[in-house]
Every structure is written in C-alpha cells, then in structure tokens.
Amino acid sequence: MIKAVIFDFFGVLEQNQQPNREVLDYVKNQLKPKYKIGIVSNVLAGFIYLILSPDDLKLFDDVVLSYEAGVAKPEPRIYELAMQNLGVKPEEAVFIDDQEHYVEAAKTLGMKGIYFQDFKQMKSDLEKLLRS
C-alpha cells in the first residue's frame, strides 16, 4: 500500500522557473490529506525557496536537497534519506521525476516510479498506482 509520494522539483513542481500550479494544487487537494508528501531534488542552493512560496512548502512533510544532504540523485542514499524521514519502506513510496534515469534509480531500491511528462499523464499513472 502506498503511503508516500515523493516529487522532484525541477520540471515537475517547477516549470519555466514558475511553480507548477496544476501539480501543487493536486498535491494540496488530493494527495496531502491521505499521503505523506516529499521532495527529493538536486536543485541549487536556495533556488527552491525562490520558486515555491512558504504556503507551497508547507504541503511537503519532508524536503531532501542534494546540497544539504551531501548526496545527489541517482545515488541510492538520497532516496533512502527521504524514505527514512517520511517513515516509509520502499514499496510504500512513489517517486516522480522528469528524468527517466532518476526514476529507474528509485525503482532499483523497490520504490514505485513515474516518469513525468505532463500533469495529465502523471495524474493518470499515479492514480493507477494508488488504486493497486
């Protein structure tokens, strides 16, 4: 059973240096009430805070940033840190990223993975996983 959904920042929660409102609204209205929500990103220091508002950031139970963690995707440790912080096992977590090789790295740990192409596709793929 899925207990946590973990998002990449660049290209998923952020698009064209703006917050991706479709994804953030979906997190707020559909996911946050039922699941633990996290971010795992190789974002540069401080950039996430320029794009996401304090209210946006409150949607996330945990944020693992490579520059703070000292480890970056696709290294297994960054995904393990997120799962540890959220209190979930790999089979209880879904990782969503717009870089397929980062999704594949998460899957090697036993996580579910979704390669993000657009909101509609991500929502459809995620809802299938959450129902299974």
The CATH number of the domain holding residue 64 is 3.40.50.1000
Residue 73 falls inside a structural domain: yes
Query: For the chain, how many helices (H) and strands (E)?
Result: 7, 7
**Angle ∠(115,120,125) on CA atoms, nearest 5:** 50
Residue 130 falls inside a structural domain: no
Count of domains for the chain: 1
Structure tokens at 81: 């840190």
Give me the pLDDT at residue 8, please: 98
Residue 44: pLDDT band by 50, 70, 90 thresholds? confident
Residue 81 has pLDDT above 90, yes or no: yes
Handedness of CA 7, 11, 13, 17 (dihedral sign): positive
Residue 132 falls inside a structural domain: no
Q: Could you tell me the residue range of the domain that residue 28 belongs to?
A: 4-125
Q: What is the pTM of this model?
A: 0.97
Structure tokens at 123: 């929502």
Handedness of CA 35, 92, 9, 30 (dihedral sign): negative
